[in-house]
Chain A
Amino acid sequence: MNATANSSTRFRIVAREDFSDVTYLLEIEHPQMARAARAGQFVIVMAEEHGERIPLTLADFDRDKGTITLVIQAVGKTTRAMQQSCRVGTSLYAVVGPMGIPSHIGRQKKVVCVGGGLGVAPVFPQARAYHEQGAHVIGVIGFRNRDLIFWQDKFGAVCDELIVCTDDGSAGLKGRVTEGLTQALARHDDIDEVVAIGPPVMMKGCADVTRARGIHTVVSLNPVMVDGTGMCGGCRVKIGDAVKFACVDGPDFDGHLVDFDDLTARLVRYKRAEGEAMVRFEESCRMRDEAERAARAEATAGDLDLSVDRPSTDA
């Protein structure tokens, strides 16, 4: 038994929204964190006691409602399992944060906020912070196709211009966010800063686009972490000649100095174990589904046998 004194309702999920079959939003009750959070910070979440600690960038925080919002892509075992288990009214085992140094929202007059893939949601607080500070905000958000688009209205409310990109051209601009960024840069020659959040390859692409123009570019890194408090050093990244810990020295860094190849290589550190976990998880899902199907079939087939337990949907 743990000596932990956490009440089970401490990190209650108060809302959930599914944007696609892999992307889902969780709104979690945490008034203290909602007050403390700033754009650019992240949290570490444990879904259950045996779970791993996963870092997730804050997608939103509402001081009035006392909630924080996470947008999660189901890509690994933990995020897939959370997709199944996290329902409104349930609680997460642990949520700690806000972690990391908040983004420096300075006196920039014109900024571009670029979010690609899983980076769309995390760039929202920065766009809003710049908007509230009075900057002219140009949003560039990218999705694979029109069905995956979310938060267009939310971005629209804080962006003076919004460029939506889709890989297949089914909505907005056809192409990746780097296309959108290039277009924004072509329209404005007085951009003070670009913020880019997304997969390493996308942030690298954005940094390459702005490097020639010499525009200060901030990227938010999300490498493998355990504690998130500077203690394990698992999240070390190469920034220019220096080695930094993304959790306490970042997560924001100068995109022109980040060694993205190093970052990408280090992201696959536990790939083998993660792969094994995924296979095992899928197998357990398959077996559970089969058992459910069998039970259901039995229940419907046997007219007289009414005693069969209905399988719980979230067993």
Chain B
Amino acid sequence: MAAQTTKPKKKTIRTIPQERTPCPEQDPAIRARNFDEVSLGYGLEQALVEAERCLQCADEPCVRGCPVGIDIPGFIKKISEKHLHGAYDIITDTNLLPSVCGRVCPQENQCEGVCTVGETLEPVAIGRLERFVGDTAIREGWANVPYIEPAGLRVGIVGAGPAGMACAADMAKAGCEVVVYEAFHQPGGVLKYGIPDFRLPNEVIDAEIRKLEALGVRFECNTLVGRLFTIEQMITEMGFSAVFVGTGAGYPSFMGIPGESLNGVLSANELLTRCNLMRARDFPNFDTPLQPGKHVAVIGAGNTAMDALRVSLRLGAESVHCIYRRSRTEAPARVEEIHHAEQEGVDFNWLTAPVEILGDDSGGVRALRCVKMELGEPDASGRRKPVPVTGSEFEFVCDSVVFAIGTNANPILGQTCKLALDRRGYIATDENLATSIVGVWAGGDIVTGAATVIQAMGAGRRAARAMKAWLGLRDSDAVYGDALGGTLFGIAREEHGAARVRVA
């Protein structure tokens, strides 16, 4: 009895729950035919058990593993204390979109990949806990709208995807009037057109966007920057003090094999955009058509490929095949995604490369001619290079072929403004993401090439930090020390740009 009143014992790897708390999921057989979310997320009970598994270690490798540096042990501690709003406050200090990131971050390569618990047991399910907090906030209607002092500056953001949204949030909090321009008719970028509802429901994205609007961010859809007005015009004529470009990558790659223009061959981007954003899956209630194949071959094994495979299943395909020239170990998709796709009945064909798409009489697809591969020496990417096995060609019967083998840089900004590009056509930036035009920053896929949602958000925030410094705005994230030394009129020198001194 007395033990209860004493200080609780320090948690050790032996005292914490040994098993990772399972997350309830829809049954694979049922979910493979619907667009409802696969992972149902933790309830409070499960979240509390999982939060117990965090050692609250002093080293905090998870914080360093997070591209935006969320205070992970901090918010998990708040969950343990059943102070969910406190947990939400901690996360939103650094990440405005916990419901999104908790779902789509590759945690196994980031926070969870370096978790101390993970050295011995399965790591703490940080992503699921983050999602739990974010979803609770949406359900309860929490929004942390701080008091914002107007800075009298306008910031323009090109692209309403994850990079632009993250940058918009930071600049709005710094007091800027933020306008986000989006070419599509809805904001969200890849979160809306790319990631399917069963991984990230649209309501979650809309809820997160409403939070940005609550911060004062204005979204201007149906606006193709570059063509309707240029980046230069934003700076010179439209009165923007700074501009952030986060237009994403775009321009899907094809392989250049014969038969690619047959009907029934499309990019994963087209399949996903038609299905997710344009709601072709609800045709004819929505007007956008999509003619899903009965037997679908998806080429590639990244996250986009997994989305295309699983979307095809849900659109009613009888068989769905993943064609990848390397082996499972080299597949770029998240382990969880491959696992989910397998559970749902996707047929994986590793070490298989397409060489030709064969047509039928009516211009459609009849089959895919493939060749077997084997792994040779490591190539430039460090992965073992696949080489064709001679005489191993075979025909793979299918009526639809989807390419999910990456994207190239979108050419629109290069065509319409003087931003310097790198040799691959992406926007060239310095380490602070400043571009060749003064007052213009860029980040996300249009700078790095295809990456993840959280990396794009990290870039948006990094650019925001640089923009604030350039605009002379006080950065609430920065630690204002004594770098310049001393005070002037009793105010630290670094604070002079922000302080409003009233002389009586």
Contacts and interface: CB of A to CB of B under 8 A. Distances in A.
A228 B228 CA distance: 13
B80 interface: no
A98 B228 contact: yes
Contact of B261 (A231, A248, A266): A266
A2 interface: yes
A238 to B, nearest CB: 7
B418 to A, nearest CB: 16
Interface in A54-103: 77-78, 93-101
B259 to A, nearest CB: 12
Contacts, number: 157
Interface residues of B, number: 53
B227 A41 contact: yes
Contacts of B269: 231-233
Contacts of B206: 1-3
Contacts of B260: 243
Interface string B282-296: 011111111100000
A230 B227 contact: no
A100 B252 CA distance: 17
B437 interface: no
A277 B228 contact: no
Interface in B219-243: 219-224, 227-229
A226 interface: yes
Contact of A280 (B270, B274, B284): B284
Given A3-B187, A229-B224, A233-B252, A32 B266 contact: no
Contact of B209 (A3, A93, A280): A3
Interface string B191-229: 001000000000001100110010000111111100111
Interface string A3-27: 1111000110000000000000000
A232 B252 contact: yes
A50 interface: yes
Nearest to B409: A230
B412 A3 contact: no
B105 interface: no
B450 interface: no
Given A3-B210, A265-B363, A273 B289 contact: yes
Nearest to B261: A262
Contact of A227 (B227, B273, B415): B273
A231 B227 contact: no
B219 A238 contact: no
A11 to B, nearest CB: 8
B445 to A, nearest CB: 11
B500 interface: no
A273 B286 CA distance: 12
Contacts of B267: 232-234
B65 interface: no
Contact of B221 (A4, A52, A228): A4
A4 B186 contact: yes
A5 B221 contact: yes
B394 interface: no
B185 interface: yes
Q: Of residues A1, A2, A96, A231, which shows the largest number of chain B Cβ atoms within 10 Å of its Cβ?
A: A231
Q: Of residues B183, B184, B260, B266, which shows the largest number of chain A Cβ atoms within 10 Å of its Cβ?
A: B184
Contact of A233 (B254, B263, B279, B412): B254
Interface string B235-259: 0000000000000101110101000
Q: Of residues B183, B219, B229, B285, which shows the largest number of chain A Cβ atoms within 10 Å of its Cβ?
A: B183
B195 to A, nearest CB: 14
Given A96-B184, A233-B269, 8 more contacts: A6-B221, A50-B285, A93-B185, A96-B224, A99-B224, A232-B266, A265-B261, A265-B263
Interface of B: 183-188, 193, 205-206, 209-210, 213, 218-224, 227-229, 248, 250-252, 254, 256, 260-261, 263, 266-267, 269-270, 273-274, 278-279, 283-291, 363, 410-412, 415
29 contacts: A1-B206, A3-B187, A4-B185, A4-B219, A6-B221, A33-B228, A36-B229, A50-B279, A50-B285, A52-B278, A52-B289, A93-B185, A96-B222, A96-B223, A99-B227, A229-B224, A230-B250, A230-B251, A231-B248, A232-B269, A232-B270, A234-B266, A243-B260, A248-B251, A248-B411, A249-B411, A266-B263, A269-B291, A270-B289
